[in-house]
Structure 1
Amino acid sequence: MGSTSLGMPALPPRTAQPTWKQAWDSALYGQSGYLRHHPVSLIRDRDELVDFLVPRLSGHEHAVLLGAAGVLAPQLSNLLPGVSLRPDVPTGFTGIVVAVDWLSHVPAHVVQADDDDRARVVHVDPISGQESLGLVLDDPGVPPTLKEWLDRHWPLAGDFARAEVGTTREAAWRDVLRCLASGEAIAIEHNHLASARPLTGTLRAAGGPTIPDGTRDLFADVALDALADACEATLFVEDGPARIESRK
């Protein structure tokens, strides 16, 4: 079985179309992907975010800015001339990593309950956006981690309920932490918690229909409590933007 560019198993399709995760991955990060030619949009209050980040970054000599945090690099550089900023996390990094709406741009498998309340992987036509349902999650061809994550963190409630499975976001944040030798890592994300998971998921496009054709940004909110649990991070939903923090 092959794998996608983020290292997740490529699922054998029940339909001829790619899974949403595969199409999303290609639409953002493929050869002509949207984020290869456009920055991640900052859809937060810039001043509030800068006010929160400046005292956190000021205690470090080196900082990594991921996702929409990169949009703030010129402003932060002027305010913190003694802090070296970079857009990637090298192995053995010492300092602070700040990710803003970065994990929400990590493609995830989209699943939906069919009319028999069975969760299935959702496939999509990358050109038209037309969807179809693929394998049930307990099929041998589907990685068992998808169903395990869904059962634990986001059980589908009712016919046609949808969710984005958080395993790829957890893997991405673990990769960041593996590269961090000493310091701290903060992920600030639009999110939801177990007490109020969205009934129909959160996958959407910026300013248009949700079609993975490479011409638009695609993102989905992060199950932040599940991420904190999986990565042994501290969850903050008050006192600043909703986020998780990890320290080494």
Structure 2
Amino acid sequence: MRREATDEWRGWREATEEALYGPSGFYRRPEGPAGHFRTSVHASPLFAQAVARLLCRVDEALGHPASLAFVDMAAGRGELVTGVLAALPAEVTSRARGYAVERADRPAGLDHRIEWLAEPPEGITGLLFANEWLDNVPVDVAEVDAAGVVRLVLVRAEDGTERLGDPVEEADAEWLRRWWPLAGAPSAGALPQGARAPSEGARTLPEGARALREGGHAPSDEAPALSEEAHAPSEGARAEIGHPRDTAWASAVSTLDRGLAVAVDYAHFAAGRPPFGTLTGFREGRETMPVPDGSCDITAHVALDACALPGGRVMTQRAALRSLGVSGARPPLALASTDPTAYVRALASAGAAAELTAPGGLGDFGWLLQTVGFPDPLHDGPADENAPLRRALLVDVADHEEQ
């Protein structure tokens, strides 16, 4: 099916790709992402220290390999990988190799031990960490028109003006039907010509994910439970078509020979998709209208349940960081009398930890954990071959999630 797009009017995916990563794109600006918004990495060094502890747990689970990789996806200016390497104990530092994956040029003065790459290295053993990467993998936007038809949203780069284009293509319609149903999206009995209906309860995986499954990874025994009820949103209901993110995540995970991949992002799930989407922009610390002209960040929340490969698990950042020793508990007041300096330091640390784990803020971010290459010799069946490594890395979500 032909997309109704011209040089002036393009789909959001194409327009965002150019606006963020083109020659004059937002992520090539000299000030870097930190000049426009704060992530957990920028909020406190506690975040990098927690990730360093996670890397140490991965190292232990891997049996202390001779070369231990830490891959920082969408590395910005290398802040996270720098902080993680600095926080490692000497014995681990001697074997650790840091990789920063970023499209922008290598910043001056970056630690010479860090390799700067445009793509993640293949065949690594260790930890791949993607903090707020998937939300910047460009996606198209769909919207329901007055007749109930789901159409591609077209945008004009110069000012962000939108209009509706053709009905969404078959692959997009199938993804929407499975993960983000909208009025007019094809039902199981009314797929567009040439589209394939997934079997009842099946996981629709991108090609990279299928390769992983064929390599011996068992399907998850906790696949997301999706509602089968019909959705009938009114005119103007929107969705971000997330299969490019599914494919990007599967591709990143496939670079691991053995280890753990973690994606951290603001997310939503099948039971509560936002009715009008989440596409927005950020400029100089403030949310703004998304205009794909290179002047602002363009981002959208991530359907992490759609991204998850077999065996993947999602927990909140609050639960993950608490299991890694980050607590917002205030220090005992008695410490102020016995050691005022230590009390002030502990109070500042508690405040930073509280920000990283705050409900309604960074603490609600999703952590998608994907283990690779760790069969369970004690497990009789294929339901969850990665459970032993997951237990070694992070405790069960239920142990730390607040009700």
TM-score category (smaller protein): 0.7 to 0.9
Identify the residue that residue 252 of structure 2 maps to in structure 1. 176
- In structure 2, give the amino acid aligned to 1:39: P
Residues 1:65 and 2:72 aligned together: yes
Structure 2 CA distance for aligned equivalents of residues 46 and 111 of structure 1: 37
Structure 2 CA distance for aligned equivalents of residues 178 and 104 of structure 1: 19
Q: Given the two structures, how large is their TM-score scaled by the length of structure 1?
A: 0.86
Identify the residue that residue 52 of structure 2 maps to in structure 1. 54
Structure 2 CA distance for aligned equivalents of residues 166 and 96 of structure 1: 24
Work out which of the residue numbers 164, 167, 170 in structure 1 matches 2:243: 167
Identify the residue that residue 247 of structure 1 maps to in structure 2. 371
Identify the residue that residue 223 of structure 2 maps to in structure 1. none
Structure 2 CA distance for aligned equivalents of residues 39 and 92 of structure 1: 29
Larger CA Rg, structure 1 vs 2? 2
CA-atom RMSD, angstroms? 2.1
2:141–2:153 contact (8 Å) kept in structure 1: yes
Residues 1:114 and 2:145 aligned together: yes
Q: Deviations over 1:132-179 (max 9, x none)?
A: 101112xxxx2x221111111111222101111110000101111221
Residues 1:227 and 2:221 aligned together: no
Residues 1:39 and 2:70 aligned together: no
Structure 1 CA distance for aligned equivalents of residues 44 and 275 of structure 2: 30
My pick for the range that moved more, 234-243 or 105-114, is 234-243
Percent identity between the aligned chains?
31
After superposition, where does 1:5-20 map in structure 2 within 5 Å? Answer: 12-13=3-4, 17-20=9-12
Q: Given the two structures, how large is their TM-score scaled by the length of structure 2?
A: 0.54
Structure 2 CA distance for aligned equivalents of residues 51 and 242 of structure 1: 19
Identify the residue that residue 6 of structure 1 maps to in structure 2. none
2:52–2:85 contact (8 Å) kept in structure 1: no
Residues 1:190 and 2:186 aligned together: no
Counterpart of 1:213 in 2: which secondary structure?
Answer: coil
2:262–2:368 contact (8 Å) kept in structure 1: yes
Q: Deviations over 1:165-206 (max 9, x none)?
A: 110000101111221111110001110111211111111111
Structure 1 CA distance for aligned equivalents of residues 127 and 99 of structure 2: 11
Counterpart of 2:125 in 1: which secondary structure?
Answer: strand
Residues 1:102 and 2:133 aligned together: yes
Work out which of the residue numbers 148, 171, 186 in structure 2 matches 1:145: 171
Structure 1 CA distance for aligned equivalents of residues 304 and 45 of structure 2: 23
Work out which of the residue numbers 294, 297, 305 in structure 2 matches 1:214: 294
Structure 2 CA distance for aligned equivalents of residues 18 and 32 of structure 1: 18
Structure 2 CA distance for aligned equivalents of residues 119 and 48 of structure 1: 44
* 1:71 Cα deviation after fit: 2.7
Change (3 A) 1:103 1:185: same
- In structure 2, give the amino acid aligned to 1:247: T
1:173–1:231 contact (8 Å) kept in structure 2: no
Q: What stretches of structure 1 of length at least 5 have no aligned partner?
A: 2-10
Counterpart of 1:163 in 2: which secondary structure?
Answer: strand
* 1:42 Cα deviation after fit: 3.6
1:65–1:73 contact (8 Å) kept in structure 2: yes
* 1:68 Cα deviation after fit: 5.6
Work out which of the residue numbers 20, 23, 44 in structure 1 matches 2:15: 23
My pick for the range that moved more, 169-178 or 30-39, is 30-39
Counterpart of 2:128 in 1: which secondary structure?
Answer: strand
Counterpart of 2:143 in 1: which secondary structure?
Answer: strand
- In structure 2, give the amino acid aligned to 1:98: F
Q: How many residue pairs are counted as aligned between the two chains?
A: 233
* 1:23 Cα deviation after fit: 0.4
